[in-house]
């Protein structure tokens, strides 16, 4: 720990070996393990527990009673991510008792009571709302939004731009740009609002709609999806089609 650190509350425990940037602020009754690195601009509220091999990027804010990591975990949290109250990341043993690296991208917002298990990879600019649970090896690409009280079961992939409605249970891959909900979650259509915010050309959205109907209208047509992925020059359509072609749908 740097000798220049001056913003750590006297009630907080910091183990020898922890790396803490000089401008980090840590509130009362926190615990910082020996293999934790907190980069510039990080803020921890009260009663935060950080353990295991943990790298926290610049300007991350972790709110009260969050618990991140265990003795043998390996976790990376990207810059400008917010981790709200009572969130748990990598604190439960995996089914095979082996620690699996967790990667949380940059500019994410994890709301209260979120639980993230081993092997999860979360892209940038995702919003995970209250009491969501991501089981082992779930992978979310960038700009995914998951509604409160939802669960994503193990080994499933969530494509970029997906919006999952509240109280949903996801037990399969979800292709990019989809709007899904339910228990079990099913595709309700395209996340058109998300596409409008993301794409400047209206023609791109219309083309995505047309491809969506072709490859997912009556179940997943993986052969056609691969053909489209190989021939269509539009990067967003390639992303959608290649995901469907290799998915577990």
In 3D space, the residue among 210, 165, 160 whose CA is nearest the CA of residue 187 turns out to be: 165
SS3 for 206? helix
Q: Which domain covers residue 241, as residue numbers?
A: 195-246
Residue 70 belongs to some domain of the structure: yes
* Per-residue tens of pLDDT for the chain, all 249 residues: 444 556 999 999 999 999 999 999 999 999 999 999 999 999 999 999 999 999 999 999 999 999 999 999 999 999 999 999 999 999 876 666 678 999 999 999 999 999 999 999 999 999 999 999 999 999 999 999 999 999 999 999 999 999 999 999 999 999 999 999 999 999 999 999 999 999 988 899 999 999 999 999 988 999 999 999 999 999 999 999 999 999 999
Identify whether residues 129 and 207 lie together within a single domain. Answer: no
Angstrom distance (rounded) from CA 164 to CA 157: 13
Structural domain contains residue 112: yes
Contacts of 215 (CB under 8 A, 6+ apart): 221, 222, 224, 225, 228, 240, 241, 244
CA distance 17 to 61: 21
Extract the tokens encoding 151.
């669960």
133 and 199 share one domain = no
pLDDT for position 70 = 94
Q: What's the structural domain count of the chain?
A: 2
pTM: 0.94
**Domain shared by 23 and 133, yes or no:** yes
Same domain, 103 and 204: no
Please indicate, yes or no, whether residues 114 and 226 belong to a single structural domain of this protein: no
Residue 115 lies in a domain: yes
Q: Spell out the residues 6+ positions from residue 12 whose beta carbon is closer than 8 angstroms to its own.
A: 26, 27, 28, 29, 30, 31, 32
């Amino acid at each position: 720990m740097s000798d220049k650190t001056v913003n750590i509350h006297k009630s907080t425990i910091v183990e020898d070996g922890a790396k803490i940037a000089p401008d980090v602020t840590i509130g009362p009754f926190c615990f910082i393990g020996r293999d934790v690195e907190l980069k510039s601009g990080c803020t921890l509220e009260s009663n935060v527990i950080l353990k295991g091999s943990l790298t926290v990027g610049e300007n991350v804010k972790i709110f009260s009673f969050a618990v991140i990591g265990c003795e043998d975990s390996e976790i990376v949290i990207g810059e400008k991510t917010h981790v709200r109250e009572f969130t748990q990341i990598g604190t439960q043993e995996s089914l095979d008792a082996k620690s699996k690296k967790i990667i949380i991208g940059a500019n994410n917002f994890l709301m209260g009571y979120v639980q993230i298990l081993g092997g999860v990879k979360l892209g940038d600019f995702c919003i995970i709302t209250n009491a969501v649970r991501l089981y082992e090896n779930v992978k979310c690409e960038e700009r995914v939004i998951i509604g409160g009280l939802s669960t994503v079961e193990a080994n499933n992939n969530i494509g970029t731009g997906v919006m999952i409605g509240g109280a949903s249970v996801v037990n399969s891959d979800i292709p990019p740009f989809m709007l899904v909900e339910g228990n079990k979650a099913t595709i309700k259509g395209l996340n058109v609002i998300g596409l409008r915010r993301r794409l400047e050309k209206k023609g791109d959205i219309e083309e995505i709609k047309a491809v969506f109907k072709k490859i997912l209208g009556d179940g997943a047509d993986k052969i056609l999806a691969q053909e489209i992925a190989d021939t269509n020059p539009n990067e967003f359509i390639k992303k959608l089609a290649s995901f469907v072609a290799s998915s577990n749908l």
